[in-house]
Structure 1
Amino acid sequence: MTTPEPVTRDDLIAAFHAARDEIGAYFAGLPAPVFLNGTAERWSPAHHLDHLIRSNAPVTAGLNIPRHLLAPRDPGEGSRSYAGVRAEYHAALARGQKAFGRYLPEPRDDQAGLVARYRDGLDALLGALGTWADGDLDTCNMLHPVLGNISVREMLYFTLYHNWHHQDGVRLLFGQDATR
């Protein structure tokens, strides 16, 4: 992410717009043979992008659930920072956590189709996020499959970082500098 770490809802909206544009353009610009070169064990860029599509969709669905149906957060319990969520995710990866179940990629679309689905998915997330007030992001919990019950704000921090993390993983595969 080339912008400062997000704090507010408006920061998150700007950061997700940047992710949609920059990550989408990066994956769209890869040569087709490179984009598709991989296996279920050694993911191709197509696998990474499909995984992001699969991972972003439940967050969007959660943002669209009526607030009163989400688990309430204990009053006074704040949300961790973007850096704090990132550190917890890195700790889970260090313990050997990997994608599983519905988050395992099975790319079936061509490159243009996957990139379009990725961008459309982030547009849907942005639309759902736009219905939330900044303060409400700390009043409800969402269940993350690895991090457990975390605030909506923390889920958004995770989701944003997760997108950049996978782009960086692909960049490293090709000897390019990772930016996060």
Structure 2
Amino acid sequence: MCFEPLNVLPMYLNQLEIRGLLDKGFDDFVDYINTLPDIRFTAALNGQWSAGQQLEHLVKSIRPICNVMAYPKLTLLYFGTSPLPSRSYDELSTNYRALLGNGCKSIKIWKPGITYPGQRVVLLSALLSLRIKLLDRLKRWTESDLDKYRLPHPLMGKLTIRETLYSIIYHTQHHLGKMQDQEPVGQSWENQLQQLIF
């Protein structure tokens, strides 16, 4: 007897899995920032954002989502409810990567300014505070509500709350990767800066 393979759709991440990935993403990002010397935290080479700017951008982009998750759900009906189930994390991250690959950039209000060494503690404190609030507010959401309510995303259109949380996970990993890609290979940051200046 011949059996045809089942078409298994990728499952979405449940709350517990989302919480775990958010926690890990924030931990990895903060741990990496804490390893950097001041010059590495503030230096922006080759038109890329500095590590401090990456951190400020994350704070600016996560804060509104964290705030909205505390609103009464009735107010979120303004954005409508989702007629479709949430996409999987893999599907959302693939779509996000494609948009970035096509040259989509951050919106103006989320773009960072120049960052200074003295801002590191303040920005890290803000990010860690957002993490606590976000994870606390997530507890108040049922699995079905995560798929029902939507929020606008500046690049991807309307996302369910579950997809919005996926976007935070992916976005945090993306910016950690951007910082890691800027690490000098075989030379110090001071040498790289000298080559850039002279």
By the TM > 0.5 criterion, same fold?
A: yes
* Alpha-carbon displacement from aligned partner over 1:127-176 (angstroms, at most 9, x marks no partner): 21121112210011110011011111001001111001100110011058
- Aligned partners of 1:6 and 1:12 also within 8 Å: no
1:84 counterpart = 2:74:
no
Name the counterpart of 1:30: 36
* Inter-partner Cα distance in structure 2 for 1:113 and 1:61: 19
Superposition TM-score, scaled by structure 2 size: 0.80
| Match of residue 52 from structure 2 | 46
Using the alignment, how far apart are the partners of 1:52 and 1:174 within structure 2? Answer: 20
Classify the secondary structure of the residue corresponding to 1:166: helix
TM-score of the superposed pair, with normalisation by structure 1: 0.87
SS in structure 2 of the partner of residue 143 of structure 1: strand
Structure 2: distance between partners of 1:91 and 1:156: 18
1:97 paired residue number: 104
Q: 1:133 aligns with which of 129, 132, 142?
A: 142
Give the equivalent residue in structure 2 for 1:142.
151
Distance 1:39 1:118, change over 3 A: farther
Q: May I ask how many residue pairs the two structures share in their alignment?
A: 171
Q: Does residue 17 of the first structure (1) align with residue 23 of the second (2)? A: yes
**Cα displacement (A) at 1:110:** 2.0
Q: Secondary structure at the match of 1:174?
A: coil
Cα deviation, residue 84, structure 1: 0.8
SS at match of 2:69: helix
For residues 38-95 of structure 1, give each alpha carbon's deviation from its aligned partner in whole angstroms, at most 9, with x where no partner exists: 27942100000000000111111121121111134245x1010111111111111122
- Contact 2:82/2:147, CA 8 A, preserved across alignment: no
Query: Where in structure 1 are there 5+ consecutive unaligned residues?
Result: none
Identify the residue that residue 151 of structure 1 maps to in structure 2. Answer: 160
> Equivalents in 1 of 2:72, 2:184: separation in Å?
44
Query: For the structure 1 residues 22 and 165, does the alpha-carbon distance in structure 2 shift closer, same or farther, using more than 3 Å as the test?
Result: same
Identify if the C-alpha distance between structure 1 residues 99 and 40 changes in structure 2 by more than 3 Å, giving closer, same or farther: farther
Gaps of 5+ in 2: 1-10, 186-198
Change (3 A) 1:13 1:6: farther
Q: Return the letter of the residue paired with 2:41.
A: F
- Counterpart secondary structure, 1:132: coil
Q: Of the two, which has the highest radius of gyration?
A: 2
Name the CA distance, whole Å, in 1 between partners of 2:106 and 2:176: 16
Which range is displaced more, 36-45 or 21-30? 36-45
